[in-house]
Amino acid sequence: MSENKSFFNRLNVQKEILQVNSGIPFGFESVTNPELGIGGAYGTWGEEYDNIRLRELVSHRLGEQLQDADVMNLSELGFTSRHHISDLTMEENLKIEVEIGARILREAARASGWKPSEVQAVLIGMSGPVSEDYVELICQRAGIPASAMKVSVHKACDGSVGGLNLALNPALGRKGKPNIAEELLGKKVLVGGIEGLSRFTSNAHDKNALQLFGNAAGVIGIIPGETIKFLVGKDHEAFDGGGVLAVHMNYPHSGAKPEGESLVDITQESSSHIRVAGLMHEPEDGSPISMAGPMGMVKLFVRTGVQVVTDVYNEYTRLMAKLGTPDKHISVGIVHHANYKINQLKAKHLQNGGIQFPMPWLLSDFGNVSAASNMIAFLRQLPLIKPGDNVLFDGFGAGTYYDVLAVTMGGAS
């Protein structure tokens, strides 16, 4: 596990104070790999809280002192800090998150070598969007054409990898719905996650959630079929009927489904906006989030997650054998950073099954940032990836939803 220093103190981070309320610190970093023709941008906003200072903030939000017995060993879980905002009005939250979302889109386009006006699609994962039309708003602010396809993906922490899977995997197309991957082949596409989790969790009563989650955004620019090519992948649903990780659906969803039917609604919100919304087990007290302790999260995500990764990996090895490259290995796994223990245990179980590839831990300075985490991890790994490398993305989130896919990296044209 790598030890990351303060994000705002990183050499290449551009920082400023956004003029909302008393001022909101904002920083972002752009990353480009010219050999691959892939770039992106990631960042965060709000005050930085290390594992010691965080106790004061959590106590404030709980309205009572966080007791010693409830203080999590966050460094053991892979986190040294996370970023939070003060309590803002809904209008202030909307203003700050639209501005940040637009900035990240513009910078991701620039890092990819594009003007915002050239972007043809935007797919954004969000656990608790600040508004139902958030993706439309940030695209408009960023200067992305009104005709560009916009996809809002609400599958909790799985949102950004769910979006990437939709953009690349034509097998995910549903009858009577747009086949997103087929429509986006060869187009300039931005994919990522933008998570204002400080806002979303500010009224939570869950002591673990208040310590784990923070704000962040990460967006990458890809051209499906050119700079990144789909190999194999799948999505998987396993409804969390016990509410081990219950999350309020802060987005439209039609509700409970008949047995055997997908838990994900796909709706055409407007001529250019598609919403992909996953059913959640919601907290009974109406709060934003309620979660079991770290071991509960391990049990929720590891067993099924290992199986989904195993299925995709086995399909990958069959494909490599068919292509005559049986020794072509996965160069790196980009895994959602829920916490380090989950990823450690997944790696151990996979290794016991004969599956092994690097799974670097790359987000110590952010906390769990839900759908933003995979894209931030990918951008931090991006300078080390070479044309022809095969990369596995592993996304998982409350619901419970899993998206796992293997891709091969193309090169700049």
Q: What is the 3-state secondary structure (H, E, C) of 384-397?
A: HCCCCCEEEEEEEE
- pLDDT of residue 299 exceeding 90, the answer is no
Determine the pLDDT at residue 298: 82
The structure tokens 């806002």 sit at: 199
Residue 297: its pLDDT value, please?
80
- Please state the rounded mean pLDDT for residues 12-28: 93
Q: What is the mean pLDDT of residues 308-331?
A: 97
- Mean pLDDT for 191-216 is 95
pLDDT in tens, 230-244: 999 999 999 998 889
**Quick one: pLDDT at residue 353?**
95
Residue that is written with structure tokens 């919304």 in the block? 277
| Residue 90 tokens, joined | 């809904």
What's the pLDDT band for 399 if we cut at 50, 70, 90?
very high
**Percent of the chain having pLDDT more than 70?**
99
412 has a pLDDT exceeding 80: no
**What pLDDT does residue 103 have?**
97
Mean pLDDT of 338-365: 96
Q: What residue ranges do the domains of the chain occupy?
A: 7-408
Q: Which residues of 169-205 are buried (b: 16+ CB within 10 A; e: fewer)?
A: beebbeeeebbbbeebbebbbbbbbbbbbbbbbbebb
Quickly state the pLDDT bin for 52 (edges 50, 70, 90).
very high
CATH number for 7-408 (one of 3.40.50.880, 3.40.1280.10, 3.20.110.10, 3.40.47.10): it is 3.40.47.10
Kindly tell me if the per-residue pLDDT of 413 is higher than 70.
no
pLDDT at 3 over 60: no
Structure confidence at residue 34 (pLDDT):
96
Helix 90-111 / helix 134-142 crossing angle, nearest 10 deg: 50
In sequence order, the 6+-apart residues with CB closer than 8 A to the CB of 393 are: 161, 164, 165, 333, 334, 374, 378, 403, 404, 405, 406, 407
Residues in contact with 205: Cβ distance below 8 Å, sequence separation at least 6, in sequence order: 62, 285, 287, 290
> Mean pLDDT over residues 65-75, rounded?
94
